[in-house]
Copies of this chain bind each other. A is one copy, B any other.
């Protein structure tokens, strides 16, 4: 049991070290030696857990995908689908800013050539946004004449933009920038009944 725990911890530090090295050096240039050194394990230990750099990149993306699923699940309160969406965008940007695994996971899926076996994090995010906006439409929380699809085009594009721009300048993933975005969007997206209850800065304690 102790041995299993140690193995899980080693695997975890390798994934985190890989994320940090990919972010600093890029996937192609990153060497397995600098990853194992950063994780404080031997090359042999690395190869015991991961057969290739590709496998490490995949593990980084899979961990980011799990964090993203958790953001979709846990940021939902009792304030309706639109507030759920606002809260989830705050949680996503905050984790991109603070969690090297999330940042590297999204970076890995950016730029050419796309890795053939890559996890589609943006596709996962897009699917989630579309679903939560369909929920908002079903609740009658969308403004007259605004469909869930119209809204999701703008929200998916803008959040992918914040993610990208935030890699170069953290101002773009800040809570203040995101609140400014929602202050602009919510009066267009939300029904007159839903709008007064919505908080553009999010309702999560972390904000």
In A138-189, which residues have CB < 8 Å from any B CB? 146, 149-151, 153-154, 156-162, 164-165, 167-168, 172, 177, 180-181, 183-185, 187-188
Q: Is A37 an interface residue (CB 8 A)?
A: no
B-facing residues in A112-162 (Cβ within 8 Å): 112-114, 122, 146, 149-151, 153-154, 156-162
Residues 18-53 of chain A, each 1 if its beta carbon lies under 8 Å from chain B, else 0: 000011111011000000000000000000000000
**Is A107 an interface position by the 8 A CB rule?**
yes
Chain B residue at smallest Cβ distance from A156:
B161
Closest-CB distance, A129 to chain B (whole angstroms) = 12
Are B167 and A153 closer than 8 Å at their CB atoms? no
Interface size class of A (residues with CB under 8 A): 35 or more
Kindly list chain B residues whose C-beta atoms are within 8 Å of the C-beta of A146. 184
User: Are B150 and A112 in touch, CB under 8 angstroms?
Assistant: no
The reply to whether the CB of A7 lies closer than 8 angstroms to some CB of chain B is no
Contacts of A122 in B (CB 8 A): 164-165, 168
How many protomers of this protein does the assembly include? 2
Main SS class of interface, A: helix
Closest beta carbon of chain B to A36's beta carbon, Å: 20
Contact (Cβ within 8 A) B24 A167? no
> Which B residues lie within 8 Å of A177 (CB)?
153
Does A160 lie within 8 Å of B154, measured CB to CB?
Answer: no
Q: Shortest Cβ distance from A152 into chain B, in angstroms?
A: 10
Q: Which residues of chain B are within 8 angstroms of A187 by Cβ–Cβ distance?
A: 188
Pair A168/B22 contact, Cβ less than 8 Å = no
A165 and B158 alpha carbons, distance in the complex (Å)? 11
A154 and B167 contacting across the interface, CB-CB below 8 Å: no
Given contacts A154-B154, A164-B164, list 14 more A-B pairs with CB under 8 A. A28-B28, A107-B111, A110-B164, A122-B164, A122-B165, A122-B168, A146-B184, A150-B180, A153-B184, A154-B185, A157-B165, A157-B172, A157-B181, A161-B161
7 A–B contacts, CB within 8 A, in A order: A22-B112, A28-B28, A146-B184, A153-B181, A154-B181, A157-B165, A185-B188
